[in-house]
Amino acid sequence: MAIFNLNINGKKQQVDVDPATPILWVLRDHLNLVGTKYGCGIAQCGTCTILVGDIAMRSCMLPVSQIGNQAITTIEGLSEDGDHPVQKAWLEHDVPQCGYCQAGQIMNAVALLKANPKPSDEEIDGAMNGNICRCGTYVRIKAAIKAAV
C-alpha cells in the first residue's frame, strides 16, 4: 500500500492503495466515480477510457503509480452540466442504446477532437476503432463526432 495524491477532474484526491492498482479501480472503488466502466481489463474494448492530460488512455491497465501529477479527466469531469460539445452532440443524435460503452466512446472522441478538430471519416474510424459497442451505435457515434463543435 502507498499513498498517492491525484488530480482528478480538477480536484486533489488522496488514496492509499496497492501501487499496481489500475486507475480504473481507484476511480470506481475508492473515489466512487463509477462513470468510467470496466469492460475487458486488458485495454481491448475502450470502455474504461479516460483522459490523462489531453490523451485518451485505457484506465484498466494503467497503474495508479504511473499517474504522478498528470491531470485526469473522467466522464464526470468533462463538464459542469453535461454541456461539453461532445456530450451535447451525443444527446442531439440520441446515440446510446444500452449506454454502457458510451462514456468510453465520448472520452475517446473528446481526445480525438482536441488533437484534430475536423477529422475525416477515416480519421474517426482510426481513432475510435479501439472502442467496442455491442449494440452497434457506430453510425451515430460518427455522426455525433462530426457534429460536435
The CB-of-109 to other proteins minimum distance in angstroms stands at 11
> Among residues 81, 80, 100, 82, which one has the least CA distance to residue 90?
82
The CB-of-10 to other proteins minimum distance in angstroms stands at 15
The CB-of-59 to other proteins minimum distance in angstroms stands at 12
Q: Chain-centre distance of CA 70, in angstroms? A: 15
58 binds other proteins, rule: CB under 8 A: no
List own/partner pairs for 112-118 with CB under 8 A and 24 or more apart: 112/56, 112/145, 113/85, 113/86, 113/145, 113/148, 114/54, 115/54, 117/149
Q: Which is nearer to other proteins, 61 or 71 (CB)?
A: 61
Q: Which is nearer to other proteins, 71 or 132 (CB)?
A: 132
The CB-of-83 to other proteins minimum distance in angstroms stands at 10
d(CA 137, CA 102): 9
19 binds other proteins, rule: CB under 8 A: no
CA dist 64 to 4, 68, 78, 106, Å?
A: 8, 8, 20, 22
44 binds other proteins, rule: CB under 8 A: yes
Contacts to other proteins by CB under 8 A: 1, 17-18, 20-22, 25, 28-30, 32-42, 44-45, 47, 74-76, 78-79, 82, 87, 90-91, 94-103, 106, 121, 124-126, 128-142
